[in-house]
């Protein structure tokens, strides 16, 4: 009698299932962190909300700090693709625009979209940072990554000769970094009830006013 034919191992299906499980766990953790706070959220609660076992939470994601980090990372990019924000096509395309004012207008639009997703999770991380060394390190890493991104943006403005006289790219990056803090969005939109559209317009106007020289004119030979 011949041996039964074995079905080929479908690695693509297994990978998709693992990714879906991971997504469900991180989404559940994010909801609980926002609703209950980081300290009050247990791994058991995450497992129950995601409808998986406690062991699956650890094998798929890790502990609570890993779940929060992934939730923040995915909120920044808008998905779970392993592509850094600066490598996203829309960001790269924006940085190629020859007009510095349009770059900042587009940046404000993107920053508003990101802040809408990240602000509640950032508030969770800030509240937990004083009590948890892992979350404090995560918050510090987030600030450093934001500053690195703003340095790239500031240099793009400097390359176009757009910065105000006497304003260095490093100082421009610091200003962008300050306004890029999700806490600013949280205070104005969530606490003070600004609409996201109003916040976006204000952010673009403020950055253009603070960073761009009054007599700046985009050149045809700009990057």
Report H helices in 78-132.
Answer: 89-95, 100-129
Neighbours of 173 (CB within 10 A): 23
DSSP state of 186: I
pLDDT tens, residue order, the chain (223 aa): 455 544 555 777 888 898 999 999 999 999 999 999 999 999 999 999 999 999 999 999 999 999 999 999 999 988 888 888 778 888 888 888 999 999 999 999 999 999 999 999 999 999 999 888 999 999 999 999 999 999 999 999 999 999 999 999 999 999 999 999 999 999 999 999 999 999 999 999 999 999 999 999 997 445 5
* CATH numbers and ranges of domains, the chain: 10-67 (1.10.10.60), 83-223 (1.10.357)
pTM assigned to the model: 0.84
Environment class of 77 (CB within 10 Å of its CB; exposed 0-12, middle 13-18, buried 19+): middle
Which of 147, 141, 139, 144 lies closest to 122 in space, CA to CA?
A: 139
């Amino acid at each position: 009698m011949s041996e039964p034919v074995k079905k080929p191992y479908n690695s693509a299906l297994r990978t998709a299932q693992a990714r879906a499980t991971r997504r469900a766990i991180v989404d559940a953790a994010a909801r609980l962190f926002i609703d209950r706070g980081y300290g009050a959220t247990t791994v058991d609660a995450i497992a129950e909300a995601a409808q998986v076992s406690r062991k699956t939470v650890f094998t798929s994601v890790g502990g609570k700090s890993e779940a929060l980090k992934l939730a923040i990372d995915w909120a920044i990019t808008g998905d779970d693709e392993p592509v850094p924000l600066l490598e996203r096509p829309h960001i790269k395309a924006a940085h190629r625009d020859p007009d510095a004012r349009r770059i900042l207008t587009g940046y404000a639009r993107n920053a508003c979209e990101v802040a809408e997703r990240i602000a509640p999770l950032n508030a969770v991380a800030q509240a937990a940072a004083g009590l948890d060394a892992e979350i404090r390190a995560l918050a510090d890493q987030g600030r450093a990554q934001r500053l690195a991104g703003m340095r790239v943006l500031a240099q793009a403005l400097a390359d176009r000769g757009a910065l105000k006289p006497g304003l260095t790219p490093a100082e421009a990056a610091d200003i962008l970094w300050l306004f890029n803090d999700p806490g600013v969005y949280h205070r104005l939109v969530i606490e003070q009830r600004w609409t996201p559209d109003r916040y976006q317009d204000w952010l673009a106007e403020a950055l253009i006013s603070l960073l761009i020289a009054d007599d700046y004119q985009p050149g045809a030979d700009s990057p």
